[in-house]
A and B are shown apart, each in its own frame.
Chain A
């Protein structure tokens, strides 16, 4: 599973999340700016988990902003990769079971 393509791609993804991310634009995104403009941004509530260690893509306890954002990106990528990869492994496991069930020869007589 950890072939060259996967490793290179993962490396690129970690660089994007860990380094490039802190240079990203901090302007409000499309939805936020429309919400501000049409005055419904105020209906937004703070999320109940606003105090999680990586809330808003900054790492609690890290003062250097670039490092703070970068670390949250790296952690996020690792979690997403593990979760999505693990989920698909589970699904493939079920598929193998299905395939075996369909092709299993009938061994009723002993």
Chain B
């Protein structure tokens, strides 16, 4: 969903630039809580994986392809604030080094893929995971569903933003339908990749998964409580 230069008006690009700067600034501060000794190499790995994953376009039919966004994957593995940073680093490197996504569109791309996608995926994940938080497999499944849904939702936000600040006069309804339908398909790919990766990390190194920290802490409390009875 990398937006090129020229899609949005200058005021819109400036506004999303400010939103992105504020968001990243807040994430820089808030991510401190998420970053313990183990998490540090994870953040680098997650960002690297997302960069690599975004290169792998998969066909979704109709001569169209899609690729991983990775916001939900990142949030579950390293926490939502660190995820904002990982996604932002990927987007900045893509824009500057690969000319993938316009530089003037960087604010828009960060707002959409590093902020909206992360918030939506994390919120959905928390809600869905809570339904069966003790199940090991439910972690990967809820991450998959949350990530999958975050893609068409982010696409819808793009459509809304375009209706307000896009350079071309496309009707919101038309754009919304087109963007959401194709990104719902892409979301399936996102869900599959997210589920597989989260599942793999959670089964080999659950101590490295941010989303399991609360579960581990509670299990520890229970164990300690039981031993003092």
In addition to A5-B204, A6-B45, A57-B98, 11 A-B residue pairs with Cβ atoms within 8 Å of each other are A13-B48, A13-B49, A38-B175, A44-B7, A54-B97, A69-B55, A73-B52, A76-B93, A83-B89, A88-B31, A91-B35
Nearest chain A CB to B91's CB is how many angstroms away?
10
How many residues on the B side are at the interface (Cβ–Cβ under 8 A)?
73
Q: How many angstroms from the CA of A88 to the CA of B85 in the assembled complex?
A: 9
A residues near B90, Cβ cutoff 8 Å:
80, 84
Main secondary structure of the interface of A (DSSP, over half): helix
Q: Which of A9, A17, A34 lies in contact with B179, CB distance below 8 A?
A: A34
A residues near B98, Cβ cutoff 8 Å:
52, 54-57, 72, 76
Nearest chain A CB to B147's CB is how many angstroms away?
16
Q: Which of B1, B45, B51, B155 lies in contact with A9, CB distance below 8 A?
A: B45
Nearest chain B CB to A36's CB is how many angstroms away?
10
B residues near A83, Cβ cutoff 8 Å:
47, 89, 92-93
The reply to whether B4 and A38 form a contact with Cβ atoms under 8 Å apart is no
Main secondary structure of the interface of B (DSSP, over half): helix
Q: How many angstroms from the CA of A48 to the CA of B175 in the assembled complex?
A: 27
- Can you list 8 pairs linking A and B with CB atoms under 8 Å apart? A5-B205, A46-B5, A52-B98, A56-B99, A80-B48, A84-B86, A84-B90, A85-B41
A residues near B65, Cβ cutoff 8 Å:
24-30
Known: A80-B47, A88-B43. A16 touches B100 (CB 8 A): no
Nearest chain B CB to A103's CB is how many angstroms away?
15
Interface positions of B from 155 to 208, Cβ below 8 Å from A: 155, 158, 166-168, 170, 174-175, 178-179, 182-183, 185-186, 204-205, 208
B residues near A92, Cβ cutoff 8 Å:
32, 35-37, 40
Known: A47-B99, A49-B103, A55-B98. A85 touches B43 (CB 8 A): yes
Asked whether any CB of chain B lies closer than 8 Å to the CB of A87, the reply is: yes
Return the CB mask of A30-74 against B: 1 if under 8 Å, else 0.
110111011110011111111010111100000000000100110
The reply to whether A34 and B5 form a contact with Cβ atoms under 8 Å apart is no
Nearest chain B CB to A89's CB is how many angstroms away?
6
The reply to whether B57 and A37 form a contact with Cβ atoms under 8 Å apart is no
Asked whether any CB of chain A lies closer than 8 Å to the CB of B96, the reply is: yes
